[in-house]
């Protein structure tokens, strides 16, 4: 299977997640075509692509503009293949029902805006990289973390991503994409 992985990051965690997906795909005899939506190639060829994985982080209630722009520009090609979305957020680290409702709205808004509707969405918990934030971000993230009962000690960084759950999600997608491609 040849899988297109489109991602964007602001603080680096979604790049790590995209890198993990790339390794996982390759370790399981698949090919990965990586696109960083912030520095995309001039053209996109969907020929030979069996499926699409898009990954992006939630920042202040939305996904990064370069990712939204890129997916919107190519929504027709992308919709011609089975696709899934990996949404990265701090909310996904918690179990507050209201916050999850908001998260589902945020991902639905992404699809409304871009015209790209994935067959499923995986909510991956992201990271708090306090030691890398400037003063404003540190202050803002401390407030967000407090709201989510996440750690607020800004002397340390925290990673919440469940790599095993991500692998299971990718496995399920590969099976679905194989079936759609008639390779099962």
Ligand X SMILES: Cc1cc2nc3c(=O)[nH]c(=O)nc-3n(C[C@H](O)[C@H](O)[C@H](O)COP(=O)(O)O)c2cc1C
Q: Which of 1, 10, 79, 178 binds ligand X (CB under 6 A)?
A: 10
Q: Which of 6, 53, 88, 170 binds ligand X (CB under 6 A)?
A: 88
Residue 110 CB partners (closer than 8 Å, separation 6+):
56, 62, 63, 68, 71, 85, 87, 116
CB 140 within 8 A of CB 97: no
Please say which residue, 13 or 107, places its beta carbon nearer to ligand X. Answer: 13
- Provide, rounded to whole angstroms, the least separation between the CB of residue 100 and ligand X: 10
- Provide, rounded to whole angstroms, the least separation between the CB of residue 172 and ligand X: 23
Residue 26 CB partners (closer than 8 Å, separation 6+):
32
Q: Hey, is 21 helix, strand or coil?
A: helix
Please give the C-alpha separations between residue 50 and each of 37, 77, 132, 147, 180, in angstroms, as whole numbers. 19, 12, 37, 40, 9
Q: Which of 1, 2, 11, 19 binds ligand X (CB under 6 A)?
A: 11
Token reading at 119: 């067959």
Question: Mask of contacts with ligand X, 145-184, x by CB under 6 A?
Answer: ----------------------------------------
Question: Is residue 97 at the binding interface for ligand X, with CB under 6 A as the rule?
Answer: no
Strand pairing category for 51-57 and 83-89: parallel
Question: Mask of contacts with ligand X, 42-61, x by CB under 6 A?
Answer: ---------------xxxxx
Site for ligand X in 120-139 (CB under 6 A): 126-128, 137
Strand pairing category for 158-159 and 127-128: antiparallel
**Within a 10 A sphere around the Cβ of 132, how many other Cβ atoms?**
12
Please say which residue, 77 or 102, places its beta carbon nearer to ligand X. Answer: 102
Question: Is residue 1 at the binding interface for ligand X, with CB under 6 A as the rule?
Answer: no
Please say which residue, 25 or 128, places its beta carbon nearer to ligand X. Answer: 128
Residues making contact with ligand X (CB under 6 A): 9-14, 57-61, 88-91, 126-128, 137, 140-141, 144
């Amino acid at each position: 299977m040849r899988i297109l992985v489109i991602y964007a990051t602001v603080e680096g965690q979604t790049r790590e997640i995209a890198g993990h997906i790339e390794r996982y795909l390759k370790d399981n005899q698949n090919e990965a075509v990586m696109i960083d939506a912030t520095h995309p190639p001039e053209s996109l060829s969907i020929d030979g692509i069996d499926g699409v994985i898009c990954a992006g982080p939630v920042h202040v209630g939305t996904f990064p503009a370069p990712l939204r722009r890129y997916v919107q520009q190519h929504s027709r090609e992308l919709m011609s293949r089975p696709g899934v979305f990996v949404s990265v957020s701090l909310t996904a680290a918690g179990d507050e029902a209201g916050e999850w409702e908001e998260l589902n709205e945020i991902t639905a808004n992404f699809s409304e805006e871009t015209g790209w509707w994935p067959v499923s969405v995986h909510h991956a918990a992201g990271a708090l990289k306090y030691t890398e934030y400037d003063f404003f971000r540190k202050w803002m993230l401390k407030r967000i973390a407090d709201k989510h009962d996440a750690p607020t000690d800004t002397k340390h960084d925290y990673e919440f991503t469940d790599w095993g759950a991500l692998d299971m999600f990718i496995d399920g997608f590969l099976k679905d994409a194989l079936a759609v491609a008639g390779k099962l």
